[in-house]
């Protein structure tokens, strides 16, 4: 992408004023996006973005800059400007760059860049047709298609020199139903670290049909009661609550500054024995997976909570200095425009022994949340508020009528302690996660779980 000799010169220039570590992140990205509304392609964008990020450490000081000028002169100028922010330290050593090789985890059958535009449009049209034909009350269907090829090269003053190609594909479907008085929506957005073969092999009848079914089901739902009672959270995207309310609190971004309820608690009991919480960036072709992180470290399976005991955090290279620990292959960034930091990949609650049928049958009264919606979380405290996209009351061990307008309100660390059942049906759901290093593809996951008590906000009392 850029000559190795030039990269070495940039790393050297970055340390010219006393830094002890320098890094170059080179990115060449191709993106294709399409949006369909009312059966018509409303937007179709294809683009390429190339840029270079330069980072310097001096003790606990970190400087970051980026440039789209990839001439040697432009890169050296950017490195020297960044270096001027650091003065008085000892000059770091530049180790000879040694190219690292590895076996890719993710097999890509069809690079999206090689696939004709018409084939992509055909998939979108088919999904639109399935959702629209589900029920006459479906008024609107919106679809978003994205494929992305990101080529990166990462080199640093410690001698690291490694390259990677990441390929992402996703199709998001939103259906809106109306009865002439009110409107309800349903959504499904499968994605993978895979090529066009993922899109072409999607079960569109399932995904488009589910988006439409949710909208139609909620259209006729009763108002959700409010109060405190047991809540059953289904698998797959149900994991978004613990991703937001607990996962971010286990990232070094907050832990290193003691801005997390989990800081300085390694070895403590933070959840019941039945809860094991994992972040695994090595799962083949999963949406949040990577071969290497954005510092060039191989991704790994990080067990964060094991049988209720806090075992570790997600740590990037810079925060490893603050925490006097080792990086965990968890550093990520949206692009060269962002300084990397610790982020999640595929984070999930490990499967337990209960079947979904047993969990429901053992619940006398409560709420069953089949699909979660969006929400808000205070990352410092873990306090959350999440909307539920599809929910049902549970009465006498059976799923009762659907209810709408449900919100789950609580605190992530406290909710974690109230998990009393963990199912055996683990599944992952694709989403986008935003934080200080940008918006990133992540999986959230879990089997069906039950929380003994959550505050449920509804539109009427129990």
Q: 191-233 pLDDT, tens per residue?
A: 999 999 999 999 999 999 999 999 999 998 999 999 999 999 9
Confidence of residue 461 (pLDDT cuts 50, 70, 90): low
Residues 48-85 have pLDDT tens digits of 999 999 999 999 999 999 999 999 999 999 999 999 99
Residue 89: is its pLDDT beyond 90?
no
Residues 238-273 have pLDDT tens digits of 999 999 889 999 999 999 999 999 999 999 999 999
Residue 380: what pLDDT? 81
Beta 346-349 vs 438-446: how paired, if at all? parallel
Residue 151: what pLDDT? 98
Q: How many CA atoms lie within 13 A of 181 on its CB side?
A: 2
Q: Which of 367, 356, 429, 350 is nearest to 232 (CA)?
A: 367
Residue 43: what pLDDT? 95
Residues 294-328 have pLDDT tens digits of 999 999 999 999 999 999 999 999 999 999 999 99
The token pair at 297 is 């470290």
Please state, rounded to an integer, the average pLDDT across all residues of the chain: 96
Beta-ladder partners of 53:
25, 66
CB 156 within 8 A of CB 163: no
SS (H, E, C) the chain: CCCHHHHHHHHHHHCCCCCCEEEEEEEEEEEEEEEEECCEEEEEEEEEEEEEEEEEEECCEEEEEEECCCCHHHHHHHHHHHHCCCCCCCCCCCCCCEECCCCCCCCCCCCHHHCCHHHHHHHHHHHHHHHHCCCCCEEEEEEEEEEEEEEEEEEECCCEEEEEEEEEEEEEEEEEEECCCCEEEEEECCEECCCHHHHHCCCHHHHHHHHHHHHHHHHCCEECEEEEEEEEECCHHHHHHHHHHHHHHHEHHHHCCCCCCCCCCCCCECCCCCCCEEEECCCCCECCCCCECCCCCECCEEEEEECCEECCCECCHHHHHHHCCCCCCCEECCCCCCCCEECCCEEEECCCCECHHHHHHCCCEEEEEEEEEEEEECCCCCEEEEEEEEEEEEECCEEEEEEECCEEEEEHHHHHHCEEEEECCCEEEEEEEEECCEEEEEEEEECCEEEEEEEEECCEEC
Confidence of residue 339 (pLDDT cuts 50, 70, 90): very high
């Amino acid at each position: 992408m850029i000559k190795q000799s030039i990269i070495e010169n940039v790393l050297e220039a970055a340390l010219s004023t006393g830094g002890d570590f320098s890094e170059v992140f080179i990115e060449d990205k191709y993106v294709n996006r399409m949006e369909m509304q009312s059966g018509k392609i409303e937007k179709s964008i294809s683009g390429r973005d190339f840029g270079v990020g330069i980072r310097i450490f001096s003790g606990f000081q970190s400087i970051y800059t980026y440039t789209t000028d990839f001439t040697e002169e432009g890169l050296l100028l950017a490195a020297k400007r960044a270096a001027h922010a650091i003065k008085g330290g000892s000059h770091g050593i530049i180790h000879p760059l040694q190219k690292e090789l590895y076996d890719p985890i993710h097999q890509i059958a069809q690079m999206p860049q090689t696939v004709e535009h018409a084939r992509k449009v055909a998939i979108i049209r088919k999904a639109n047709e399935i959702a629209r034909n589900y029920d006459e009350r479906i008024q609107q269907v919106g679809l978003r298609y994205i494929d992305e090829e990101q080529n990166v090269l990462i080199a640093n003053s410690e001698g690291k020199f490694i390259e990677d190609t990441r390929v992402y594909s996703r199709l998001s479907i939103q259906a809106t139903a109306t009865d002439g008085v009110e409107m309800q929506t349903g959504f499904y957005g499968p994605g993978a670290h895979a090529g066009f073969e993922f899109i072409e092999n999607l079960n569109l009848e399932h995904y488009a049909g589910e988006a439409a079914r949710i909208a139609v089901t909620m259209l006729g739902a009763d108002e959700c009661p409010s109060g405190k009672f047991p809540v059953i959270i289904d698998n797959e995207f149900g994991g978004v609550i613990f991703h937001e309310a607990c996962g971010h609190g286990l990232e070094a971004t907050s832990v290193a500054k003691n801005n997390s309820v989990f800081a300085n608690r390694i070895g403590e009991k933070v959840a019941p024995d039945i809860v094991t919480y994992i972040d695994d960036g090595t799962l083949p072709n999963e949406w949040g997976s990577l071969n290497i992180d954005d510092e060039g470290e191989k991704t790994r399976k990080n067990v964060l909570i094991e049988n209720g005991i806090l075992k570790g955090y997600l740590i990037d290279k810079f925060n490893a200095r603050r925490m006097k620990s080792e990086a965990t292959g968890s550093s990520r960034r949206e692009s060269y425009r962002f300084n990397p930091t610790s982020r999640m990949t595929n984070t999930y609650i490990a499967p337990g022994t209960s079947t979904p049928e047993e969990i429901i049958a053992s619940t006398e009264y409560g709420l069953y949340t089949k699909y979660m919606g969006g929400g808000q979380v205070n990352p410092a405290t873990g306090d959350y508020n999440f909307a539920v996209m599809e929910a049902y009351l549970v009465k006498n061990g059976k799923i009762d009528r659907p209810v709408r307008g449900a919100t789950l309100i609580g605190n992530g660390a406290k909710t974690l302690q109230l998990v009393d059942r963990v199912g055996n049906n683990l599944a992952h759901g694709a989403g986008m996660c935003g934080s200080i290093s940008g918006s990133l593809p992540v999986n959230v996951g879990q089997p069906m779980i039950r929380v003994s008590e959550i505050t449920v906000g509804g539109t009427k009392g129990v």
